[in-house]
Chains A and B, each alone.
Chain A
Amino acid sequence: MTAQDLTALLPFIVVSAACLVVLIATAVRRSHAVAGLVTVAGLTAAFGLLPAAASVAPRAIGASGAGALVVLDGYGLFFIGLILAASVAVAVLAYGYLDRQEEHREEFYILLLVAVLGSMVLAASSHFVSFILGLEILSVALYSMCAYLRDRAISLEAGIKYLVLAAASAAFLLFGMALIYAEFGTMNFSYLAAQMTAGAYPDRALVAGGLALMITGFGFKLALAPFHLWTPDIYEGAPAPVTAFVASVSKGAMFALLLRYFSSTSAARLHGVFLVFAVIAATSMIAGNLLALLQNNLKRILAYSSIAHMGYVLVAFLAAGDLGPEAVTFYLVAYFITTLMAFGVVAVLSPAERDADRLEDVEGLFWRRPVLGALLTLALLSLAGIPATAGFFAKFYIVAAGASSGIWRLIVLLVVTSVAGLFYYLRVLVAVYSQPAESAEPAPRLPLASGVVLALLGILIVWLGVFPGRVLETVQLAVASLRF
């Protein structure tokens, strides 16, 4: 490895180092404050080092040629930055949340940093080997994070469900990769791209089978219907900050990889693959929005809403040209901020023994805690896509991208299901603005750091909805480096 390689890898190295520092500090003396501080400092430092990494971009790490495992280009670095920023928010929210727990709390930050590293590898992956490594690093950390609060049966259940289903989906992915490797003899995305665009594959059945298995694996990880069955249980069972992480970072990293893989190999343009993705997008939008109507639990509502949102992103993914990837990336940015905000409010409202995820918990929230009520309102309005929020502009962008490539049926479905989705967001809002019940238990005190993070997220939602220009330019720059 040269000095330039190491410079490009600086964000990865800093995150790993922070992980080891927390580990050793915890081994010497347990301190929640130190663990939290080192984690936030490490993530922030890694974020600050992104310009240094960008100065040597694009840079492929690994053996020369087809052996390049990760590639650090503008696109990868953009998503790494997004992941790091979201992880800082998760770490801060988790600090306030875990402070109320009596469990050993320091291990959480080690697991969080490991999971962040896995997501970063996914965002920069250009090879099946780094893909599987990143995915497993992320998943293994997430199993324990979902089950972190061992006193809660529901948390353990979430961990076990995630373990079994993630392992099964990894098996699908591996088998798909094996079939594709058997046909092309390479595991590097750009080399696969060269052969696939040349149309040089004698055995179409192998490629089709491989792609189908891989799409199943992707679909599971992104919780797209019909691979979404785990989502509500895990969202409900996992501690609120972990749910925020699963909903934002883990899905965002996977989508970054999906976009890189399919746009570089241009496999999404194959007729069959396009059709499969279109059906998955349609079922996700319908299933997510309709099933959310039946829920009475805030976390489950948000889980089904996330299924629908991934369906929306998939519509943009299917749009041709540069507009599609741009819409995907912008939507993910808006979705990250909004989801973190929604689950952040749940996290700060949660007392020590359970998560405040029932609709009764937010009943009259606006009258009891006006600021938190307003922030939750903002998050829900953004999820619903009301103008002047980040969610509106992001959805608008998807419609524009879809319209430019003429996938009208999906666009119409998106608009119709979004309207249906308004109902369940409004149900939560009605609860937030109703008069509080007499016997409502007092919510715990709002930790200062969590308050600051939530306020920042709120400002970002409005800023992105009103002045999206700056972020849009960055997104366009990042996506431009995706072209091969």
Chain B
Amino acid sequence: MEGLFYMAAVVAVGATLMMLTRQNAVHALLYLILSLLAVAVIFYLFGAPFAAALEVIVYAGAIMVLFVFVVMLLNLGPRAGGLEAAWLSPTVWLLPAIMAAILAGEIVYILSGPGLRTAPAGEIAPVQVGLALYGPYLIGVELASMLLLGALVGAHHLGREARSKPETKTHDVYSDVAGSDSGGDLVRAGSDRTSGAA
């Protein structure tokens, strides 16, 4: 039990450090997902399978989806495919693969091992979480919904397209950079096609 915790914790801290130090936004994001998965394993070990599932679905899952959307919206050029192949050298994927394998091994071990699921504080089932949230702690749920409303309205206002500006300056900057330097990250690599279609 303790050994499993420390292994997952080391993976979490290591993945977070790697995420902070990566130059490439995509690599950093993948490390972040790994870190979130490690935290999910820790939640599971402490008898909160529901929180663990949420961590995987909401954080790792939702962030992944958002990321895919961003890549799609960036309208990748044909050159990006070649870049992707160049990025996938073993030095890049070996460490995260080992970290992910550790987590996967832990999960398999927990699920197959006898008696390991009894956490020190007992197991908290989804029903209990739901009853607490929509019972005595209803005000917390309502406040969280207002928090999301505020974030939504703010994002809507700030993200709205500018009214009368035909072309924003950022695109020009990106296309200039992409012309001179082809080894950049996805954002730059993709912009060779967007510069005209802004």
A residues near B (Cβ < 8 Å) are 1, 9, 16, 19, 23, 61-64, 67, 69-70, 102, 104, 107, 110-111, 114-115, 117-118, 121, 129-130, 133-134, 136-137, 140-141, 143-145, 147-148, 150, 159
Q: Are A111 and B150 in contact (CB under 8 A)?
A: yes
Main secondary structure of the interface of B (DSSP, over half): helix
Interface centre among B142, B144, B158, B163 (most CB of A within 10 A): B158
Q: Are B146 and A147 in contact (CB under 8 A)?
A: no
A and B contact pairs by CB, cutoff 8 A, 12 listed: A1-B139, A16-B142, A61-B139, A62-B140, A64-B136, A117-B146, A133-B143, A137-B146, A137-B147, A140-B147, A140-B151, A145-B154
Task: Digitize B13-38: 1 where CB-to-A-CB distance is under 8 Å, 0 elsewhere.
Answer: 00000000000000000000000000
B138 within 8 A of A: yes
Which residues of B sit under 8 angstroms from A67, Cβ to Cβ?
136-137
Q: Are B151 and A62 in contact (CB under 8 A)?
A: no
Besides A67-B136, A110-B150, 13 other A-B contacts (C-beta < 8 A): A16-B146, A62-B140, A63-B132, A110-B149, A111-B153, A117-B146, A118-B147, A129-B137, A130-B143, A133-B144, A137-B143, A140-B151, A147-B158
Which residues of B sit under 8 angstroms from A1, Cβ to Cβ?
138-139
Given A9-B139, A69-B137, A69-B140, also A111-B147 (CB < 8 A): no
Which residues of A sit under 8 angstroms from B132, Cβ to Cβ?
63
Q: Of B139, B147, B156, B163, which is within 8 A of A136 by CB?
A: B147
Q: Are B153 and A144 in contact (CB under 8 A)?
A: yes
Q: Of A16, A70, A150, which is within 8 A of B158 by CB?
A: A150
A168 to B139, CA, bound (A): 26
Q: Are A62 and B139 in contact (CB under 8 A)?
A: yes
Given A104-B160, A144-B158, also A63-B149 (CB < 8 A): no
Q: Of B138, B150, B162, which is within 8 A of A137 by CB?
A: B150
Which residues of A sit under 8 angstroms from B158, Cβ to Cβ?
144, 147, 150, 159
Q: Are A134 and B143 in contact (CB under 8 A)?
A: yes
How many whole Å from B48's CB to the nearest CB in chain A?
15
Which residues of B sit under 8 angstroms from A63, Cβ to Cβ?
132, 135-137
A236 to B74, CA, bound (A): 34
Which residues of B sit under 8 angstroms from A150, Cβ to Cβ?
157-158, 162
Top 6 A-B residue pairs of the complex, sorted by shortest distance between their CB atoms: A144-B154, A63-B136, A114-B150, A141-B150, A107-B157, A133-B143
Main secondary structure of the interface of A (DSSP, over half): helix
A-B contact count (CB 8 A): 86
A16 to B143, CA, bound (A): 9
Q: Which B84-142 residues have a C-beta within 8 angstroms of A?
A: 132, 135-140, 142
B residues near A (Cβ < 8 Å) are 132, 135-140, 142-144, 146-147, 149-151, 153-158, 160, 162-163
Q: Are A104 and B143 in contact (CB under 8 A)?
A: no
How many whole Å from A280's CB to the nearest CB in chain B?
29
Given A137-B147, A150-B158, also A114-B153 (CB < 8 A): yes
Which residues of A sit under 8 angstroms from B140, Cβ to Cβ?
62, 69, 129-130, 133
How many whole Å from A71's CB to the nearest CB in chain B?
12
> Nearest CB to that of B164 among chain A residues?
A102
A62 to B139, CA, bound (A): 7
A379 to B139, CA, bound (A): 39
Which residues of B sit under 8 angstroms from A133, Cβ to Cβ?
140, 143-144, 147
A140 to B155, CA, bound (A): 10
Which residues of A sit under 8 angstroms from B143, Cβ to Cβ?
117, 121, 130, 133-134, 137
Which residues of A sit under 8 angstroms from B138, Cβ to Cβ?
1
Which residues of A sit under 8 angstroms from B162, Cβ to Cβ?
150
A55 to B9, CA, bound (A): 50
Which residues of B sit under 8 angstroms from A104, Cβ to Cβ?
157, 160
> Nearest CB to that of B150 among chain A residues?
A114
How many whole Å from A34's CB to the nearest CB in chain B?
16
Given A104-B160, A133-B144, A147-B158, also A114-B149 (CB < 8 A): yes
Which residues of A sit under 8 angstroms from B155, Cβ to Cβ?
144
A111 to B149, CA, bound (A): 9
A19 to B153, CA, bound (A): 11
Which residues of B sit under 8 angstroms from A114, Cβ to Cβ?
146-147, 149-150, 153
Q: Of A19, A62, A144, which is within 8 A of B146 by CB?
A: A19
How many whole Å from A159's CB to the nearest CB in chain B?
8
A153 to B146, CA, bound (A): 28
How many whole Å from A90's CB to the nearest CB in chain B?
16
A144 to B157, CA, bound (A): 8
Which residues of A sit under 8 angstroms from B137, Cβ to Cβ?
62-63, 67, 69, 129
Q: Are A69 and B139 in contact (CB under 8 A)?
A: yes
How many whole Å from A94's CB to the nearest CB in chain B?
14
A358 to B190, CA, bound (A): 43
Q: Of B135, B144, B149, B156, which is within 8 A of A19 by CB?
A: B149
How many whole Å from A6's CB to the nearest CB in chain B?
11
Which residues of A sit under 8 angstroms from B153, Cβ to Cβ?
23, 107, 110-111, 114, 144
How many whole Å from A170's CB to the nearest CB in chain B?
12
A19 to B157, CA, bound (A): 16
A129 to B137, CA, bound (A): 10
> Nearest CB to that of B149 among chain A residues?
A114
Interface centre among B136, B150, B153, B154 (most CB of A within 10 A): B150
Which residues of B sit under 8 angstroms from A111, Cβ to Cβ?
150, 153-154, 157
Which residues of A sit under 8 angstroms from B154, Cβ to Cβ?
107, 111, 140-141, 143-145
Q: Are A107 and B136 in contact (CB under 8 A)?
A: no
Which residues of B sit under 8 angstroms from A121, Cβ to Cβ?
143
Which residues of A sit under 8 angstroms from B160, Cβ to Cβ?
104
How many whole Å from B93's CB to the nearest CB in chain A?
30
Interface centre among B146, B155, B163 (most CB of A within 10 A): B146
How many whole Å from B154's CB to the nearest CB in chain A?
3
How many whole Å from A163's CB to the nearest CB in chain B?
10
> Nearest CB to that of B136 among chain A residues?
A63
Given A107-B156, A133-B144, also A70-B139 (CB < 8 A): yes
Which residues of A sit under 8 angstroms from B144, Cβ to Cβ?
133
How many whole Å from B41's CB to the nearest CB in chain A?
19
A134 to B147, CA, bound (A): 8
